[in-house]
Structure 1
Amino acid sequence: MAVTLKADKREDLTKSTTKQIRANGDVPSVVYGKGKDSRTITVNSLDLLKTVRDEGRHAIISLAIEDEQPTNVMLHDYQMDPIKGELWHADFYIVNMAEEMDVNVPLHLEGEAKGVKEGGVLQQPVFELQVRAKPANIPEAISVEVSQLNIGDSIAIADLPKEAGYEFLDNEETTIATVVPPDSAEPDEAPDENAEPEMIGTTDNEGK
């Protein structure tokens, strides 16, 4: 069931108005979708943060724009103010509940591997998996139990249980967790302490 989020129309796009919107605790936002014209709106910052915290990153949101019928959307992207740590802008994507879509879902490893207790090192090569599902079936995260892994064991996407609601799109042979011997986790070569530092960002025209 979609959670409702109220929104107001935003027609004045001047910098002064946008600044005032943020000062009032709202977030300038855009709503768009396949075959739909993009629209500018505002939503309350605290309400949006609470929705994402309570319902998850891939929650279906019933966006209630003033004087209009609610529209099912997902939070597609957002930007944060790097200094104040506040929401700066949000993008909402209009979803068709009957149509599958491709999204990246966080991958979480659970448990302490047997091999780690014996001195091995648990490695996680990937932290997101791409899945295809209808909006209502998109998982908030993929959890994988690793407690039975011994040193030298690994788990690939092909080892994950098949779910009725979604399918994995990444290569099935992709390793998502492995326990390696402690020596294998060490870097092959120690850095040369006498080596000169590499200069980054310089050009032939510098100083001219």
Structure 2
Amino acid sequence: MDIILEAKPRETGAHSTLTKLRHEGQLPGVIYGYKVANKPVTLDYKEMAKAVQKFGSAGVFKIDLEGNQINAVLTDIQRCALKGTVKHVDLLSINMAEELEVDVPVMVIGEASGVKEGGVLMQPIRELKIKVKPSNIPESIEVDASNVGMNESISVAEIRSTVPFEILNADEDTLVSVTPPVVVNDDTAGQGDTENQDIKATEAPESES
């Protein structure tokens, strides 16, 4: 990794202080874990965003904390509910020689045969929790859906032996499935219209003779 993010210690205090930091382009956060006590910090918002864009949210970030370089992973990202901007991050300092548990995005590749037949592709799980050494964390886990037909699926059990790390999700968890499209019954809709017409006709006043 060729991007080193500088983390500056910050004082914990009022909410207004955090707001001021954000307006100045700083991102409040906290670093904890391997050889690091729980340390409130700030990082440059743009530099952090650039690093996440390049290496992904599951990547290992090199942090310069008061002259000491540490390796860390993101464990939590808090966003503004209205704007979607990042408000706060938690960084876990790690030992590069030890395995850790991380969530990695699932990327579906290939066009499912069931979709070509008119089916709808479903992806119930968009992340998998894996146990892996930091240097081997993948940006994503690819799942090839090309051979998934109508009413078929791919479970965790079917890809477990194809990856070089341990997947912690249950075997029965579904990664991809193809379901038939929802069919609207035009006849039923027509009957509803007729019933409405009958109600209106019944409710209509009788004409004077």
TM range (shorter): 0.7 to 0.9
Q: Which amino acid aligns with 1:155?
A: I
Q: How do 1:106-125 residues align onto structure 2 when only pairs under 5 Å count?
A: 106-125=105-124
Instruction: Show the counterpart of 1:73.
Output: 72
Q: What corresponds to 1:198 in structure 2?
A: none
- Residue by residue over 1:1-32, the C-alpha shift from the partner in whole angstroms, topping out at 9 and shown as x without a partner, is 46311121213534443332122110111111
Aligned to 1:170: 169
1:33 lines up with 2:33 in the alignment = yes
Q: How does 1:54-203 map to 2 (within 5 A)?
A: 54-66=54-66, 68-160=67-159, 161-164=161-164, 166-182=165-181
Give the length in aligned residue pairs: 183
Shift of 1:49: 0.7
Higher normalized helix content (fraction of residues): 2
Instruction: Give 1:86 shift.
Output: 3.0
Q: In 2, are the aligned partners of 1:3 and 1:60 still within 8 Å (CA)?
A: no
Mind listing any 5+ residue stretches in structure 2 that lack a counterpart? Answer: 185-209
SS for the counterpart of 1:46 is helix
The residue aligned with 2:23 is: 23
Q: Determine what percentage of the aligned residue pairs are the same residue.
A: 37
Whole-angstrom distance in 1 between the partners of 2:76 and 2:141? 20
Seen in structure 2, the aligned counterparts of structure 1 residues 56 and 69 have a Cα distance that, compared at 3 Å, is same
Equivalent pair of 2:35/2:93 in contact (CA under 8 Å): no
- 2:45 counterpart residue number: 45
AA partner of residue 121 (structure 1): V
**Partner in structure 2 of residue 202 of structure 1:** none
Letter in 2 for 1:96: N
Compute the TM-score of the two structures, normalised by the length of structure 1. Answer: 0.78
Distance 1:113 1:105, change over 3 A: same
Deviations along 1:98-154, one digit per CA (max 9) or x if unpaired, are: 111112222121222112111223222322211111112122211111122222332
Q: Which has the larger radius of gyration?
A: 2
Closer, same or farther: CA 88–146 of 1 in aligned 2, 3 Å: same
How far apart, in 2, do the equivalents of 1:8 and 1:45 lie?
12
Q: Any unmatched runs of 5+ in structure 1?
A: 188-208
Runs of 4 or more consecutive aligned structure 1 residues displaced over 6 Å after TM superposition: none
Distance 2:134 2:2 in 1: 10
